[in-house]
Amino acid sequence: MRKPILGILGGLGPLATTYLMQFVILKTPARTDQDNIPMIVLNDPQIPDRTAYILDHSKPCPLPEMTMVARRLEESGADYLAIPCNTAHYFYDGIVDAVSIPVLNIMTETVNRLVECAGKDATIGIMATEGTVASGVFQDYFAAAGMRRTITPTKEEQACLTSLIYDCVKANKPYDPADLLHVAEGMRSRGCDAVIVGCTELSVIYAGLGQKPEWLYDSLDILADRCVDYYLERQ
């Protein structure tokens, strides 16, 4: 029996793509190489910036390139897809419409985890790109699950997160993981029961944190869990 192949629509950004691959491998209950999940990865960093388009529709739209990559992954043999970029899920429906295979949804999986672990009455802090925050897409996913109490970063906190994303991780420059934790703790102090790392560049920084607070949830880590579970369910 052929094992399901995971397709990763990558490059959004490139480093986050490699972290998803690593997370999936480390979470797979494998005793040998052959027990691991087959993957096809198309790491396309030429896809236009998602936040730039969401904030200004005169900028290049990333959807045509993303759908092209999704189709190429399907044509190459992928049985299901994952997208290691939260902001790209602003375009999720368009990607789903472009292929005939399942596309896992990082926001759906993150919301499901928070419903389970924090409860529907919890107040959730969202650390993400300006595009994700401004579009309200994550807030909409939470609201659809009955979680209507969300908090977004202050102007100063968002500036810090944006710098970590674009000036540090995407630019391959050094960063201090304590800056991410400082923003999360600030949101926590304003009444958040849980805070999500809702940008996969921030997930790269989260992975480097030493002691991770139990109230801090990483969307890329949660997506990796679902990639593995989906595979194991079909063995």
pLDDT in tens, 72-131: 999 999 999 999 999 999 999 999 999 999 999 999 999 999 999 999 999 999 999 999
pLDDT of residue 124: 98
Instruction: Give the chain's mean pLDDT.
Output: 97
Could you tell me the domains of the chain?
6-105+222-233 (3.40.50.1860), 106-218 (3.40.50.1860)
Catalytic pick among 61, 117, 168, 199: 199
pLDDT tens digits, residue range 19-50? 999 999 999 999 999 999 999 999 999 999 99
Give one DSSP letter per residue of 31-63, joined into a string.
Answer: SSGGGSPPEEEEE-TTSPPHHHHHH-TTSPPSH
Q: Average of pLDDT values for 151-170?
A: 98
What strand order describes the sheet that includes 39-43?
A: 39-43, 6-10, 80-82
Give one DSSP letter per residue of 189-217, joined into a string.
Answer: HTT-SEEEE-SHHHHHHHHT-SS--TTEE
Catalytic pick among 61, 85, 117, 160: 85
pTM over 0.95: yes
Percent of the chain, pLDDT > 90?
97
pLDDT of residue 1: 66
Whether residue 192 lies in the annotated active site: no
Distance CA 21, CA 47 (A): 19
Whether residue 61 lies in the annotated active site: no
HSE-CB of 206 using CA atoms within 13 angstroms: 29
